[in-house]
Amino acid sequence: MTAFWAEPDFDAHEQVTLVHDRSSGLTAIIAVHSTHLGPAAGGTRFWHYNDPAGAMRDCLRLSRGMSYKNAMAGLPMGGGKAVILADEQRIKTPEMLAAFGDAVEALGGRYVTAEDVGISEADMVAVSRRTAHVSGLPVEGAGRAGGDPGPFTAHGIYLGIKAAVRHKLGKDSVAGIHLAVQGTGSVGGGVARLLARDGAKLTLADINAERAAALATELGGVAVASDAIMATPCDVFSPNALGAILDDAGIAALDCAIVAGGANNQLAQAQHGAALSARGILYAPDYVINAGGIISVATEYLARRDRRQVEVAEVRALIEQIPGRLETIWQESAASGVSAAVVADRMAQRLIGRG
Ligand code: NAD
């Protein structure tokens, strides 16, 4: 049997903590990939996995992704991630969240948590009763930044899509540009609303068909079945649901010029970045374009530590740097013939001292 730490997904994580709390029933993994640039920041996912090895793989891949994301966003934070293994009914109790808060506290600030799929602002408030190493907490007062990272993530993706349209299609406006959006939740819904405001044409899909249909009605778009969205002829395919959708079959099905969306770990395997390039599709590396949320969460955390307030404008100014970073990656990719995904990975690895 291969040693666990020799598996490619382990990727020299600094620390992986397995948590089991008998009285609350909490089972969790906390992965700290790198603290080279600062405390390892990344959200907590609450998800039911069919097998524990899948949970570990997901946690490790997401954790490394956070190292890359935080480094590329210019944040003084390392990368980490937590996964709480839910049962089939996905029952989440206050006792579990308290035990999870204790586990985060026990790491002494090496890991800072926030929301991810399946975890709400209210859950983070519960965790914050046991540890200060938490962010994404509700804020009071108009103009103050913090709380749910979803709208900040959507804003960064909106700016990134506009940059991609400029780069690939030579257009300064997204008016009339056709966007196919996979997943119409917090991020996908936000991206669709921002682009609709600018006159983009929208095709939307979600496994929750009612949700996609309601948004299509609101924005004057069209809803299609979720298994039809990747093959929809469009200018931009925007994945905002789950990861690993860009595999051989998925890439072969695409009928678009650009892939730019918020889902984490969109490439099924590293070579799929080159497969997109080979098809002439411009790819916005996921962890670069979807950094808006962690920019907000990290800024909020650092400000709370320093006992100061953060204005939304401060966070937005940092998010506005995302298009420039994408442009640098695309230019280097065009000059070197190396895919945008690999260019981004190499940049991130250099920044975390592993290049
Ligand atoms: P969400 O739960 O609000 O929305 C996800 C939506 O995708 C849901 O409506 C769900 O029904 C739908 N969905 C799931 N599988 C689907 C499929 N196969 N086809 C079509 N629709 C499907 O989650 P979110 O916060 O919008 O996050 C979306 C993605 O963006 C996730 O991959 C998440 O990790 C990533 N992300 C989110 C943030 C953030 O700030 N929320 C930040 C960075 C990355």
**pLDDT at residue 9 in the model:** 87
Round to whole Å and give the CA distance between 240 and 184: 7
Kindly state if the Cβ of 242 falls inside 6 Å of ligand 1: yes
Kindly state if the Cβ of 187 falls inside 6 Å of ligand 1: yes
- Partnered with residue 113 across adjacent β-strands are 134
Kindly state if the Cβ of 209 falls inside 6 Å of ligand 1: no
Kindly state if the Cβ of 149 falls inside 6 Å of ligand 1: yes
Which amino acid is present at 252?
A
Round to whole Å and give the CA distance between 136 and 21: 24
4-63+79-128 in CATH: which number?
A: 3.40.50.10860
Q: What is the pLDDT along the chain (355 residues), one digit of tens a residue?
A: 567 778 888 899 999 999 999 999 999 999 999 999 999 999 999 999 999 999 999 999 999 999 999 999 999 999 999 999 999 998 999 999 999 999 999 999 999 999 998 999 999 999 999 999 999 999 887 778 888 899 999 999 999 999 999 999 999 999 999 999 999 999 999 999 999 999 999 999 999 999 999 999 999 999 999 999 999 999 999 999 988 999 999 999 999 999 999 999 999 999 999 999 999 999 999 999 999 999 999 999 999 888 888 889 999 999 999 999 999 999 999 999 999 999 999 999 999 999 8
The answer to whether residues 186 and 159 touch, using CB atoms and an 8 Å cutoff, is no
Kindly state if the Cβ of 150 falls inside 6 Å of ligand 1: yes
Task: Tell whether pTM > 0.85.
Answer: yes
Atom of ligand 1 at shortest range from CA of 265: 32
Atom of ligand 1 at shortest range from CA of 153: 40
**Paired sense of beta strands 111-112 and 201-205, if any:** unpaired
**pLDDT at residue 44 in the model:** 97
**How is residue 209 written in tokens?**
């068909």
- Partnered with residue 137 across adjacent β-strands are none
Residue located nearest, by CA, to atom 27 of ligand 1: 187
Locate CATH 3.40.50.10860 in the chain: 4-63+79-128
**pLDDT at residue 144 in the model:** 81
Locate CATH 3.40.50.720 in the chain: 150-289+323-351
Question: How far is ligand 1, taken at its centre, from the CA of residue 156, in Å?
Answer: 15
Q: Quick check: is 81 catalytic? A: yes
Rg (CA), the chain: 19
**pLDDT at residue 1 in the model:** 57
Round to whole Å and give the CA distance between 23 and 193: 44
150-289+323-351 in CATH: which number?
A: 3.40.50.720
**pLDDT at residue 71 in the model:** 98
> Which of 63, 186, 247 is the pocket-test mutation for ligand 1 (most atoms within 8 Å of CB)?
186
Q: One of 81, 92, 162, 201 is an active-site residue; which one?
A: 81
Residue located nearest, by CA, to atom 35 of ligand 1: 263
Atom of ligand 1 at shortest range from CA of 187: 26
**How is residue 36 written in tokens?**
């080279």
